[in-house]
């Protein structure tokens, strides 16, 4: 046994490859999972190897992906690279939001309160309810006929 002070817990270091520095964040929403990398850059957002304007058809999903960057006033400071699987487009957009917020927190810890107040660091716990036996869906029963 050693006597002495224990070293302070170190936060996860950013992945470095050469002169590039990445910050990682994972986001989840319903059944969608997004693995997000942030890099200092000019504001490019790539989702599954496509520009986010081409990947997300709905304007609301595009705005949702940009919202944590706008809130932290970091739209043109970072490039975002996201890989999404599962769920639909809206769920994937929600997962990217959480992943971007978590990665920004690693890149700039001073933004935590701003991101938390806007609700970007909270995982949305709502999931689809499972179907029960003896019913048509999760809660809807079969049609009842008295006669």
| CA pair distance 79, 56, nearest whole angstrom | 17
| CA pair distance 84, 29, nearest whole angstrom | 11
Residue 25: phi, psi to the nearest 5?
-150, 140
| CA pair distance 24, 78, nearest whole angstrom | 12
What's the pLDDT tens digit per position in 17-49? 555 699 999 999 999 999 999 999 999 999 999
Report pTM.
0.82
What's domain 21-117's architecture?
2-Layer Sandwich (3.30)
3-state helix, strand, coil in the chain (%, to 5): 30, 25, 45
Residues of the chain with pLDDT under 70: 1-20
């Amino acid at each position: 046994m050693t006597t002495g002070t224990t070293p302070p817990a170190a936060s996860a270091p950013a992945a470095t490859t050469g002169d590039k520095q990445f910050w990682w964040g994972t986001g989840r929403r319903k059944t969608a999972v997004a693995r997000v990398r942030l890099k200092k850059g000019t504001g490019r957002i790539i989702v599954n190897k496509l520009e986010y304007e081409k990947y997300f058809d709905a304007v609301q999903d595009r705005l949702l992906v940009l919202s944590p960057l706008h809130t932290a006033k970091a739209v043109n400071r970072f490039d975002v690279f996201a890989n999404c699987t599962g769920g639909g487009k809206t769920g994937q957009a929600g997962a990217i939001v959480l992943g971007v917020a978590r990665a920004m927190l690693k890149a700039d810890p001073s933004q935590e309160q701003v991101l938390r107040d806007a609700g970007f660091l909270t995982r949305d716990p709502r999931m689809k309810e499972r179907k029960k036996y003896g019913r048509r869906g999760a809660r809807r029963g079969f049609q009842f006929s008295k006669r």
